[in-house]
A and B are shown apart, each in its own frame.
Chain A
Amino acid sequence: MTQAAAFPKKRATPFTPVVVKHAERSLSNQSYIPEIIRGVGESMRHFFRNTKEMWKNDRPDPVTQRLDKGITTISYPEQKRPYPERFRGLHRLMARDDGSPRCVACLCCSTACPAQCIFIEAGEYPEGDKRRGYERFPVRFVIDELRCIFCGFCVEACPCDAIRMDTGVHATPYDSRDQFIYDKGLLMSFAGRDGSHKTENPRHEPGEKTHPGIDRERSH
């Protein structure tokens, strides 16, 4: 019975020894001079091409044309390679329409965090607030970016798309450890790569028709 395998095995190839080619002992090789001229010629080819491109400021793009000939060095602080779209950079907290954090202080992220770098102090909404009883809010939301291992588990764990790592910014070096402790305000201030603090995912506020209306007291 033959079945189309999803991952077909590579057919075993007969063992083919690699023949190491030794340089011939010819006059041109032994006298060393033609090879010197060839070598210097190769250097000159690179020199002229690169000098011209340097002079005209017309170097190949270090990312999109990185396999092209020429100097594809990234001059780092002035020039930055864009991180891939799924790069996990610094965290940010997403905002609701009214500007408050989407976070409901469920502690899922801090529980999931293997480095235990997230600290959340949950607070109850005051009496009379329509959200009271349905959800809580983070009084303090602190991430120690030095402890963070950038695994992205917090993002996976978050049930309401409140924390993300899509800022596209890598952890910035500072000169003191306490500067790596990011609090709620700072985390809220980061925008995504599109410059937005909001998310496409809808948020169902208590009282709206789409809200399931389940809370700790009323469980249908």
Chain B
Amino acid sequence: MMSLSETIWAVVKILIMVGFLFNVGGLLTWLDRRQSAMIQDRIGPNRAVIKVFGIEFRLGGLLHPLADGVKFFFKEDFIPPRGDKLLFAVAPILVMAPVLALIAVIPFGDKLCVDDLWRTTDTGSLLFPAVPRYGSCLIPVARGGIAAIDLQVASLNVGILYVFALAGQGIVGAALAGWSSDNKFSLLGALRAASQMVSYEVTIGMSLVGALMIYGSVRMGDMVRWQGDHAWGIFIQPLAFFMFFMAAVAESKRIPFDLPEAESELVSGYFTEYSGMKFGMFYFAEYMEVVTSSMLLVTIFLGGWQLPFLHRDGLTIDIGTWRALQLPMNHLTVTAIQVCTFFGKVLFLCWIQCFVRWSLPRFRYDQLMKLCWRILLPLSLANILVTGVVYLLLDHAGPVLGNTLQMIGDLTQAVVAIAITYFVLSIVIGLIRPTRRTSWVVGSTAKLAQRFGGTPRSPRMQA
């Protein structure tokens, strides 16, 4: 039986995760259009306007997803007359539900001690004390404290297995959608979707085994904690990271793996016959899958909520046994930073996935299957083997090697910290640096434009 505070916290956590998923899913439709425009030297959607008291708001095209939503609700809800009406209606739900359920096991922050958020020190000053790095809160449950709250909707002990189980459910929805549509293109798309997702499901599972061996747990929270203490998964299992990334893109059925909905071949694949909000659900589920796969990647390979050197008790820079800096921080600040870090990393990966989607051409179908069964699967098996051997060797190596490994792990953290700083700095510098331009005034059009001081534009124009 849950207590009231537990119930409230559960609701809050669900709202945070689902709210994030839905909003970012919607924003991704905008990001996809706008980012593709930026990549392809276009302006992109910017015509949807809301007029408030005569002032036009375009918000950089952010209103287009809104307009899309309105359109989805008002379009005809077409059901093929000879299709299977029940399955046709159920399929979008079956596609969307697993994606929503999948985020339950993804932790977006470390254990939260509610008591310690606002507690002052014993002397009464307003300085919040830092909580210990490991273990629970300042006041243990035995002495009347509240148990620490996992910032995770459901801290399942099966963790990643639950993710695999649910990720496999998406196939059912896609297959049913194609089957019930009474359309050959849909059926072909569904067949492709089913075979592709089943194939890549194998790679998803296999590529993670090496990581699971090293983390020694299938609980997502434990994985993230391990990465914070040692090194991020991308440094320990780089091959697995890339294989999982590829397989995750293939699972979300986006370019370059969008064969189930290949426009040039299958109209739009298994959801050809869908319209209105049912189509919207497929469309939306695809974007939400991008978010969930990013969340999985972040949790398993990119240190989840961890920032380099930021632990539960504050900023501690340790390189091996040498302590460079220790700065205790209070629990509220650390938690806030960590939660923001997690969501920031997820957004970053979604952004990267959009780049992949707009840069690469679509695979041919045999190439897709070859990539999976002939390359990714053997590679992931080899990865498991090598990881196991190396893990066994290192386990029996002794303390000197252990310390060296810890030092290397700390150095990778330093590398990440430097990389993040470099990335942010280069963006800032790039924004400040002025752009050099060259003019070619050839022909009377250009001469006229130059006489006007640039091509004439009315003040109404916005981005």
Contacts and interface: CB of A to CB of B under 8 A. Distances in A.
B455 A67 contact: no
A15 interface: no
Contacts of A125: none
A139 interface: no
B413 to A, nearest CB: 24
Given A40-B359, A46-B40, A65 B439 contact: yes
Contacts of B449: 61, 63-64, 81-82
A55 to B, nearest CB: 8
A52 B35 contact: no
A137 B96 CA distance: 77
Interface string A139-182: 00000000000000000000000000000000000000000000
B445 A81 contact: yes
B322 interface: no
B51 interface: no
B359 A43 contact: yes
Interface in A76-108: 78-86
B41 A67 contact: no
A181 B41 CA distance: 41
B460 A73 contact: no
A79 B46 CA distance: 14
Nearest to B445: A84
Contact of A71 (B43, B444, B454, B457): B43
B455 A44 contact: no
A51 B38 contact: yes
A33 B437 CA distance: 34
Contacts of B43: 54, 71, 73, 75
A121 interface: no
Contacts of A215: none
Contact of B41 (A39, A50, A65): A50
A36 B360 contact: yes
B110 to A, nearest CB: 32
Contacts of A78: 457-458, 460-461
Interface string B40-65: 11110000000000000000000000
B74 interface: no
A44 B447 CA distance: 34
A57 B430 CA distance: 15
Given A61-B439, A64-B449, A54 B463 contact: yes
Contacts of B38: 46-47, 50-51, 54
Contact of A61 (B35, B42, B454, B458): B454
B456 interface: yes
A52 B430 contact: yes
B455 A39 contact: no
Interface size class for chain B?
35 or more
Contacts of A64: 439-441, 446, 449-450, 454-455
Interface in A18-70: 33, 36, 39-40, 42-44, 46-58, 60-68, 70
B336 interface: no
B351 to A, nearest CB: 9
B355 A47 contact: yes
A48 B448 contact: no
Given A74-B455, A78-B457, A40 B42 contact: no
Contacts, number: 115
Band of interface residues on A: 35 or more
A44 B427 CA distance: 12
B435 A58 contact: yes
B244 to A, nearest CB: 15
A82 B41 contact: no
Contact of B430 (A39, A48, A84): A48
B443 interface: yes
Nearest to B358: A43
Contacts of A82: 445, 448-449, 452, 455-456
A83 B430 CA distance: 36
Interface string B340-383: 00000000000000011011100000000000000000000000
A79 to B, nearest CB: 4
Nearest to B436: A68
B39 interface: yes
B296 to A, nearest CB: 20
A43 B440 contact: no
A82 B443 CA distance: 11
Contact of A70 (B37, B41, B456, B458): B41
B42 A43 contact: no
B444 A84 contact: yes
A67 B440 contact: yes
Given A39-B360, A64-B454, A79 B461 contact: yes
A60 B444 CA distance: 18
B360 A61 contact: no
Contacts of B355: 40, 43-44, 47
A62 B441 CA distance: 11
Contacts of A65: 437-440
A84 B41 contact: no
Nearest to B256: A36
Contacts of B441: 64
B431 interface: yes
Contact of B356 (A40, A58, A71, A79): A40
Most buried by A among B443, B445, B450: B445
Interface in B292-340: none
Nearest to B458: A78
A43 B455 contact: no
B58 to A, nearest CB: 11
Given A47-B39, A81-B449, A84-B443, 9 more contacts: A43-B39, A52-B431, A71-B41, A73-B43, A78-B458, A78-B460, A83-B445, A85-B444, A85-B447
Closest 3 CB pairs of A and B: A82-B448, A78-B461, A79-B457
15 contacts: A39-B360, A40-B355, A43-B39, A48-B430, A51-B38, A62-B455, A64-B455, A71-B42, A75-B457, A79-B458, A81-B449, A82-B455, A83-B448, A85-B447, A86-B444
Interface of B: 35, 37-43, 242, 355-356, 358-360, 427, 430-431, 435, 437-441, 443-450, 452, 454-458, 460-461, 463
